[in-house]
Amino acid sequence: MAAVTGIGVATPPPVPQEALWDGYFRAHTGGGGVARRIFAGSGVRTRHTAVDPFTEDISGWSTARRMDRFAEQAPALATSALSDALAEAGRSPADLGLLVVVSCTGYSTPGLDIALAERLGLAADTQRLLVGHMGCYAAIPGLGTVSDFATARGLPAALVCVELTSLHVQPPTADPEQVVAHALFSDAAAAVVVEPGGQAGWDVPGWEVLDIAAHTDTDTQALMTWRITDLGFRMGLSARVPDALAGAVRPVVDKMLARHGADVDSVAGWAVHPGGPRVLDVVRTELGLPESAMAPSRKVLAEHGNCSSATVVLVLREIAARPGELVVAMAFGPGLTLYAAVLRRTG
């Protein structure tokens, strides 16, 4: 088995949700009562934005111009998150055998993986993998990839998720789907360092990666979309998403835990991607969990918003568990897709 031995997070400056509404989105959404209620009910108090909408309205920018800004701003954020994760793991960039970079909000070639290799001085033979446009759940298959690599090759590996959703604010609209996206999404980078068991040892604090599970229902793929347009990337987000995901939550979690002789009652913590308040409500109900189990996810939603793929790592960082206890991480995205992981606390 491999284990997460370091976690790092980096964000742009924070902005209060109320200030974003009053100073920009009230006018941007027509100021209607529906939009105001969506913002007030989002569960978000603070967000982090690489683009300051009070001084720079990019809603009319071309996609090319937005991608140029991503190439300017994402590398520094990613470098900070990965540097912190390496420091926590007691590793240097030269130790890494594989770097996996995840993003659905910006692309270029040479890409963010090359920028990180240059900034951190990665060895020339470090392998690289770029995971693009999978959406909010992408951190978990990324975690599975670096864990499998560490186990198979006996080398440390790193995962970095970098999302600048603020680059994709759409032109003024009162469309409820777009208002929901504008009320929830935020910017962050999150990184993990994963090491093989023989090197990491289980006497240090970390998270042993026991299993990864997935479920995709292609019949519901139209309910959540992330389409490239001439004016950035446009979110499609049906109000039916939480209900459509509900039927998969319990079977996926039960099957994954059963492979390890465990069940829902034996899980000490839940790192659930806060796609929105209703998503967390559905997970809590389907798994029969107390509201306290959702506290780490609601805290991240309140303090950071939905940072797409980086978010579940932010939630994992909030989980308190004793050595030997199990934690389930879970995230959702287009497909509709549910990804989950079961982790065991070490140290």
pLDDT in tens, 87-137: 999 999 999 999 999 999 999 999 999 999 999 999 999 999 999 999 999
**Residue 172 CB coordination number (10 Å):** 14
The amino acid at 27: A
CA angle 106, 53, 80 (to 5 degrees): 50
> What is the DSSP secondary-structure string of 144-191?
HHHHHHHHHH---EEEEEEEEGGGGPPSS---HHHHHHHHHB-EEEEE
Last residue of one domain, picked from the residues 172, 200, 228:
200
pLDDT band at 211 (very low <50, low <70, confident <90, very high): very high
Q: Are residues 182 and 242 in the same domain?
A: no
In this structure, are strands 157-164 and 187-196 parallel, antiparallel, or unpaired? Answer: antiparallel
Residues 182-196: tens digit of each pLDDT: 999 999 999 999 999
Gap between the Cα atoms of 345 and 205, Å rounded: 7
151 plus 41 within the same structural domain: yes
Question: What confidence tier does 1 reach under pLDDT thresholds 50, 70, 90?
Answer: confident
Q: Which of 175, 200, 225 is the last residue of a domain?
A: 200
pLDDT at 201 over 80: no
What range defines the domain where residue 56 resides? 2-200
Is the domain of 158 the same as that of 251? Answer: no
User: What DSSP line would sit under 235-287, residue for residue?
Assistant: EEE-TTHHHHHHHHHHHHHHHHHHTTT--GGGEEEEEE--S-HHHHHHHHHHH
Domain boundary among 185, 200, 215: 200
Over residues 279-308, the mean pLDDT reads 97
157-164 and 46-48 as β-strands: parallel, antiparallel, unpaired? unpaired
Alpha carbons 69 and 140: distance in angstroms, whole number:
27
Domain co-membership, 156 together with 265: no
232 and 320 share a domain?
yes
The helix, strand and coil proportions of the chain, stated in percent and rounded to the nearest 5, come to 45, 25, 30
Q: What is the mean pLDDT of residues 253-281?
A: 97
Q: What is the pLDDT of residues 133-150, one digit of tens each?
A: 999 999 999 999 999 999
Whether residues 104 and 253 fall in one domain:
no
Confidence of residue 347 (pLDDT cuts 50, 70, 90): confident
Statement to judge: residues 146 and 277 lie in one domain: no
**Overall domain count for the chain:** 2
Q: What is the pLDDT of residue 202?
A: 60
The enclosing H or E element of 342 equals strand 337-346
Catalytic residue (choose from 104, 136, 161, 307): 136
Question: Both 74 and 12 in a single domain?
Answer: yes
Residue whose C-alpha is closest to residue 139's, from 19, 309, 12, 314: 309
Kindly report the CATH number assigned to the domain that includes residue 215. 3.40.47.10
| Mean pLDDT along residues 244-272 | 96
Give yes or no for residue 6 having a pLDDT over 70. Answer: yes
What are 49's two structure tokens? 């934005």
Q: How confident is the model at residue 199 (pLDDT cuts 50, 70, 90)?
A: low
Show the tokens assigned to 211: 């299993």
Q: Which residues fall within 8 angstroms of residue 292, CB to CB, at 6 or more apart?
A: none
- 101 and 236 together in one domain: no
Judgement on whether residues 187 and 40 belong to the same structural domain of the protein: yes
- Is residue 136 annotated as a catalytic residue, yes or no? yes
Q: Among residues of the chain, what percentage have pLDDT more than 70?
A: 98
317: three-class secondary structure by DSSP: helix
Task: Tell whether the model's pLDDT for residue 327 goes beyond 90.
Answer: yes
Q: What is the pTM of this model?
A: 0.95
Same domain, 332 and 263: yes
- The partner residues of 130 in beta bridges, in order of sequence, read 101
pLDDT digits (tens, 9 = 90+) for 75-88: 999 999 999 999 99
Reading the block at residue 341, the tokens are: 């992981």
Whether 200 shows a pLDDT value over 60: the answer reads: no
What integer best gives the mean pLDDT of the chain? 95
Between the alpha carbon of residue 82 and those of residues 23, 88, 221, 315, the distances in Å are 33, 10, 33, 17
- Same-domain status, 107 and 233: no
Backbone angles phi, psi at 196, to 5 degrees: -70, 150
Q: What are phi and psi of 194, to 5 degrees?
A: -120, 135
What pLDDT is recorded for position 166? Answer: 97
Give me the mean pLDDT over the 188-216 stretch: 87
Q: Per-residue pLDDT for 203 more than 80?
A: no
Query: Residue 181: its pLDDT value, please?
Result: 95
Predicted pLDDT of residue 49: 96
